[in-house]
Amino acid sequence: MPVTPPAPRSIRTLPSWLLGRAAARGRGLVAEALAAEGVRMWHHVVLAATHDLGPVAQAELGRSIALDPKDLVGILNDLQDAGLVVRAPDPADRRKNAVTLTTEGRRVVERCAEVARRANDALLAPLSPAERERFLEMLGRIAMSQ
């Protein structure tokens, strides 16, 4: 396998480049950990959001994770076929579908949350606990500013 040469210094020092590289490494670590559990990244995102918000209207679920409705439908079909979620008419508004985790869906979310936590710990391993806390606080401010 060929070794990728380091990026030129003018690129390596850009915060946007560094954040992108760190994000790509983090996504890779988490995706690998989830794959070992038989779960794809977006499936995990939808399950986790449903866990946090559920029962949740399908449209609200998509908005909460910024996922296109047609992509969400495909993922929900996969999750429902696997017995991890149930879609049923929303009791508050029968025109909408509400998404709820099944018992097995809750087990998968808990298992995946643990492997994702370990993957993120590996990502942040070069930092001390105090550095991690400060880094996450600053990263949160950057990610939420608009």
Judged against a pLDDT cut of 60, whether residue 95 lies above it is answered with: yes
DSSP 72-119: HHHHHHHHHHTTSEEEEEETTEEEEEEEEE-HHHHHHHHHHHHHHHHH
19-60 pLDDT tens trace:
999 999 999 999 999 999 999 999 999 999 999 998 999 999
Q: Are 56 and 73 in contact (CB under 8 A)?
A: no
In angstroms, rounded to a whole number, what is the distance separating the alpha carbons of residues 50 and 32? 22
Over residues 6-29, mean pLDDT: 89
In angstroms, rounded to a whole number, what is the distance separating the alpha carbons of residues 112 and 71? 21
Tokens of 131: 């550095």
Task: Please tell me the pTM assigned to this model.
Answer: 0.85
Judged against a pLDDT cut of 60, whether residue 1 lies above it is answered with: no
Which pLDDT score, from 0 to 100, does residue 54 have? 83
Q: Please give the domain boundaries of the chain with CATH numbers for all domains.
A: 23-144 (1.10.10.10)
Please list the residues that pair with 101 across neighbouring strands.
85
